[in-house]
Amino acid sequence: MTNIDCKFEFLPTIVGSMPLKDASQACALVARYLKDIPAWPQLPKRSPRENMYVQYSEGFPGAKVEGSKVTVDRTKDLTGALEKFYTAYLANDFNKYAISADYAAGLHRFLKLDNLAAQAVKGQVTGPVSWGMIVTDETGKPIIYDDTFADVVPKFLRLKATWMEKVLQGLNKRTIVFLDEPSMTTFGSVGMQLTRQQVIGFFNETLAGISGIKGIHCCGNTDWSILLSTATDIISIDAYDNAASLAIYPEEVKKLYDRGGAVAWGIVPTNNHDIANESVASLKDRLEEAIMPFTRHGIPLEQILKQGLVMPACGLPSVTEPAAERALELLTGLSQAIRSKYL
């Protein structure tokens, strides 16, 4: 058993990204609906710098940002920049890799909230596999395939995660930091030439920078046995469309629960049409259906709910602002309905 307390009692939180441009408005929405586990809002519509790859690029050796694209030119001499990075990494000098307000207005506004009575606060960092797959070299090749950068990427994001956790602890001693890993949906395809062991190594290197509760979010179908073999405390899934993909791994999920971990059930949809057409009752039915295969494999329903969070299936950057608020209403309403029925 770990000494991490993942008994969340099915409280709601979010993946992070929101469609708003104003940081104060976004934080007000979070504080209003997510009183127990608020998360700082990423605002990609505010600026390309809040794109989930650009947002974590500050300070990366040789990184060049153009709009929402990050590249590293390996033809340049990066010896000095790499030496500087490794010196900071070995000293765990995470303050050198802070995320500025220019790149995360929602985070910096969130850190000023003074009326939170939360049980925990949540943050998120783009995970090493996704970041390393999307950031490319001068030829367009993902930098995760370069031996030097494959070593730097997880260590660099580890320092970002450590810094974020430390600043969030100023709001609440109990923190949750997620790695967002959309690229894991391509694992095992021709689009990703990484081995299982490489991926687990990348995750564990980055997760090692998080001393509190740590999670991995993947918003689609993936080989969950890989994520469940890492040091994560929480697995976050798109349970709206892809719950069956996790049900293939009941033994691994049971081990996660038995060591005190949790599953975050992303059951609230993240497109305008489905948000408008779902209700708390319809989502409750869908959630109960998603959970049923696990209870059939001997995991008690009470354990699933006590060691559970409820979330949107993914981020909400591409919906309208009213739809984002409606998604938060559904989220909190569903949490209350499940808690009052079962807990």
Mode of pairing for the β-strands spanning 69-72 and 63-66: antiparallel
Residues contacting residue 92 through CB under 8 Å, at least 6 positions apart: 159, 162
pLDDT tens, residue order, the chain (343 aa) = 346 789 999 999 999 999 999 999 999 999 999 999 999 999 999 999 999 999 999 999 999 999 999 999 999 999 999 999 999 999 999 999 999 999 999 999 999 998 888 999 999 999 999 999 999 999 999 999 999 999 999 999 999 999 999 999 999 999 999 999 999 998 988 788 999 999 999 999 999 999 999 999 999 999 999 999 999 999 999 999 999 999 999 999 999 999 999 999 999 999 999 999 999 999 999 999 999 999 999 999 999 999 999 999 999 999 999 999 999 999 999 999 999 999 9
Q: By CB neighbour count within 10 A (0-12 exposed, 13-18 middle, 19+ buried), where does 15 fall?
A: buried
pTM over 0.85: yes
d(CA 284, CA 321): 24
CATH 3.40.50.300 is the classification of domain 11-342: no
Q: Are strands 234-238 and 136-137 parallel, antiparallel or unpaired?
A: unpaired
Q: Which residue has the tokens 């395809």?
A: 189
Nearest to 301 by CA among 330, 249, 265: 265
